[in-house]
A and B are shown apart, each in its own frame.
Chain A
């Protein structure tokens, strides 16, 4: 009996460990593939030049900038609204029908396929609000796509702030708002920022929503305003690997683009880790 249990334990342990290693393996294979084939292409001119000669040469500068601009709009739109909504839900909302409705909406919003967001963006931002296919329309569409993620992670970090912080502040005569402002939000910030950046880094790599709302196949010049079309790294990658007239020839460029996109996303994630570490240290939590 005892022996059987021991074997059972060992088998269980081995199988969960293997699964965990498998996850690591997937990431390693993807990274190895892209880094080995893409890093050789990366040079200053690849980053700083526009594509040239029918997109068989040159760099990805407009796509890189386009992605940065769109991401910036996404941040400006979704971060404040998402954090505010999380504060409402966690600090103010009572457990009643309307709160349950809001929470259900957020959960469902998170489950909507990104291509549906694209369609929605076309209807609302591009057409109804007259933004046209533009950086603005794409940024806002990605913003809505990111919102549920930001709200959920922000609410989670607010929840982690002990009730004793709130009680201590209230008992000293602080209003609820003062308590949130001085004694809840600052300590929740590391978690909120981390979640926010991770959500936004996901949005930066999205293709379907911008496909509908503003990304362009080829624009050698940078957009002049927020209401112009733009190039973006994920879409550029798609073009270079499936739509180009000489796919074999531009394969290295595709890998270079993928490499850059991954560096960008990893950079954002690294930024999130650094911010979290620094703020944690500052508040000694």
Chain B
């Protein structure tokens, strides 16, 4: 109940803001992939995120770093409303995707999640064939045409750099793949619904170094077409792949800047301590 009331309140506040603001400014808002304002998130009584403000550019790779329990995964899950599935979740603030408030009443969550895909920490292929895994999202959209599906499977698996390894055996169970292959299959499954954004929650933390490298290459190769927001525990990974880095600590966004700057001359002492491995 609280949540609904909160959403309405947020919606109203947003309306007021939009009326007040000049038209030109609204256009620039739309040019952001995500524009997060004054975001507080609670699980029950516990406050997980405190007054987060962040703008994310389209077609960019943003890394979210910070010690365990700092709220970075919770932040990620705000962007495709996966927190909605958690009992006791509530929030204040605004999350705009392409200028539209995604927590508005009229938002169709399913449509949002098609545009904002997600890859999870642990590879979670469905216990179906490789083929069925990739077309799961398309099937939901009502695509039945075999040739369209075949084409989508090939294209997605190629983009996820998995095609050459599985093309002769698409009927094989996805569970028979290695961990790294499974994760790339999950990426292919996400790509297949043609999202604008791909959220990744420590996508390589359960993988060996070679598979990790493959996933990173993949993110690089795909960055022209998608906006990536990647939670990672791995400092090197963050510095290698991202243009922007956000450092979270105890629910606060301590620093958010160009990755190069964060890793060479961070503005905050806390950030420096973390990236140099003094804690975390």
Give the interface of A toward B (CB within 8 A): 94-95, 162, 164-175, 178, 182-183, 187, 283-285
Contacts and interface: CB of A to CB of B under 8 A. Distances in A.
B2 interface: no
Contacts of B173: 284
Contacts of A187: 127
Which of A168, A172, A187, A284 has the most C-beta atoms of chain B within 10 angstroms of its own C-beta? A172
A183 B126 contact: yes
Contacts of A164: 120, 122, 124
B175 interface: yes
Given A175-B110, A284-B173, A169 B126 contact: yes
Interface string B194-208: 000000000000000
Contact of B127 (A169, A173, A174, A285): A285
Contacts of B175: 284
Nearest to A162: B124
A165 B82 contact: no
Given A95-B87, A178-B140, A171 B127 contact: no
Contacts of B184: none
B126 A173 contact: no
A246 to B, nearest CB: 59
Contacts of A162: 124
B242 interface: no
Given A169-B136, A183-B126, A284-B173, 13 more contacts: A168-B120, A168-B186, A171-B80, A171-B113, A171-B118, A172-B117, A172-B189, A172-B193, A174-B110, A174-B137, A174-B140, A187-B127, A284-B175
A172 B176 CA distance: 22
A178 to B, nearest CB: 6
Given A95-B87, A173-B113, A174-B140, A167 B190 contact: no
B207 to A, nearest CB: 16
Contacts of A171: 80, 82, 113, 117-118, 120, 190
Interface of B: 80, 82, 85, 87, 110-111, 113-114, 117-118, 120, 122, 124-127, 136-137, 140-141, 173, 175-176, 186, 189-190, 193
Nearest to B127: A283
Contacts of A178: 140
A170 B82 contact: yes
A172 B186 CA distance: 10
B193 A173 contact: yes
Nearest to B173: A284
Contact of A168 (B80, B85, B124, B140): B124
Contacts of B85: 166-167, 170
A166 B80 CA distance: 15
B110 A173 contact: yes
5 contacts: A164-B124, A167-B124, A172-B114, A172-B136, A285-B127
Interface centre among A94, A168, A175, A187 (most CB of B within 10 A): A168
